[in-house]
Amino acid sequence: MTKRLVKKVIRSFGYRLKKLPVDDLEENLTSLFRDLEINCVLDVGAHFGEYGQRLRAMGYESRIVSFEPVKASFEILSRRAAADGNWIACNIALGSSNSTAEINVPTGSVLASFLETSAYSKAQYGSFSETDHKEVVKVATLDSSFEQCIQGIESPRVFLKMDTQGFDLQVLAGADESAKVVFGMQSEVSVKKIYEGMPDWISAIGVYKSLGYEITGLYPVNRDKNMLVIEFDCILRKCS
């Protein structure tokens, strides 16, 4: 009764109470997907499919298309996707052109990258970041793969998640046409360079802003021993 009375009094002055969302990544994504009416998520750099599982746990039920080039990681991903009626797994990497490339696969396969690990990365992660072996993998542009991704979706509204260990801008460079229906993005941007030649977070965000995307949230992925942020998950939406 007390809550009802408070609400009634507030309404009498022309105001209303509204519960603000908790400012965490999952709440941001849930609100953003609802607001943008997202019906297809492109999960680029899927590893074992952890992101897809996270989306399902959040309540997202529409299509997921996951891209993972590393053979052993893809085997786990494909099994998880096969158990889901609306999840497609693709054993390729996305980049700026259609080609093949050699990827470095470290002991910690989640750190697999086309780039060489930096001295900073080796100091932070030790043997976890050391290259165990290399694989030659297929690379395709998002534009060349896009029709397959959205097949059967009448009005595609796409969210592009990128976690490619320093290669996110290359993915976007191959998405000139498909980016027209990419209404939101998630990119892992680095404050500390853990790969040689990778763009820093300021440069990456500058590119996204130049394409008409604005930030809805920055969330630390990990920190070093001094509590300094190494990487952020950057969530963006198209505003122009």
Side by side, which strands form the sheet with 87-90?
87-90, 63-67, 40-44, 158-162, 182-190, 229-238, 213-223
- Across 131-155, b (16+ Cβ under 10 Å) vs e yields eeeeeebebbbbeebbeebbeeeee
**What predicted TM-score, i.e. pTM, was given to this entire model?**
0.89
47 — alpha (psi -120 to 50), left (phi > 0) or beta?
Answer: left
DSSP 103-155: EEEESSGGG-BSSPBPHHHHHHHGGGGSEEEEEEEEEE-HHHHHHHHHTT-SS
pLDDT one digit per residue (tens) for the chain, 240 residues? 455 545 545 555 555 555 544 469 999 999 999 999 999 999 999 999 999 999 999 999 999 999 999 999 999 999 999 999 999 999 999 999 999 999 999 999 999 999 999 999 999 999 889 999 999 999 999 999 999 999 999 999 999 999 999 999 999 999 999 999 999 999 999 999 999 999 999 999 999 999 999 999 999 999 998 999 999 999 999 997
**In the chain, what are the domains?**
37-95+141-238 (3.40.50.150)
Side by side, which strands form the sheet with 93-94?
93-94, 131-140, 99-106
Distance of CA 205 to the CA centre of its chain: 14
